[in-house]
Amino acid sequence: MKKTFIILALLAVAVSARATDNNTNTYKREGTTFSKDTSKQTLAKSDTPTAYTWRDSKGNEYPIILHTYTRGEKAGRTTAYVIRTSAKTGNQYKYYLPEGEAIAKEILAETK
């Protein structure tokens, strides 16, 4: 009984601590207008923005970002991705480009 109570108490503390961490503003304010803050996406140290853009099938253009893997079996390899925003939820996500490694090699060759 004591173990169950202690486990439940620790679980409640962990859940409440997690809830307070998520209370950061997920909106931005411009004057009297509030909107969803989409600037939460930050680049990792191994990511490099470029001056190149990717055009999707709908004609939208996104800046290409190069990502160099630092761990695992892909360590040292570089690939390309763009940051897209979901139309339904407004959340940002990384979209790794098809043939991303070939695109990255071409961009790196031109910038040298």
| Contacts of 70 by beta carbon, 8 Å cutoff, 6+ apart | 46
> Minimal CA–CA distance to 65: which of 77, 53, 81, 52?
81
Q: Is the pTM of this model over 0.85?
A: no
pLDDT of the residue at 112? 73
In this predicted model, what pLDDT tens digit does every residue of 10-64 receive, in sequence order? 777 766 655 544 445 566 666 666 666 555 556 666 788 888 999 888 888 899 9
In the three-class reduction of DSSP (H, G, I as helix; E, B as strand; rest coil), residue 17 is classed as: helix
pLDDT of the residue at 20? 47
Q: State the DSSP string of 59-86.
A: S-EEEEEEEE--SGGGTT-EEEEEEEE-
What is the b/e burial string over 40-64, where b = at least 16 CB atoms within 10 angstroms of the residue's CB? eeeeeeeebebeeebeeeeeeebeb
In this predicted model, what pLDDT tens digit does every residue of 62-91 receive, in sequence order? 999 999 888 888 888 899 999 998 889 889
Phi, psi values for residue 32, rounded to 5°: -100, 10
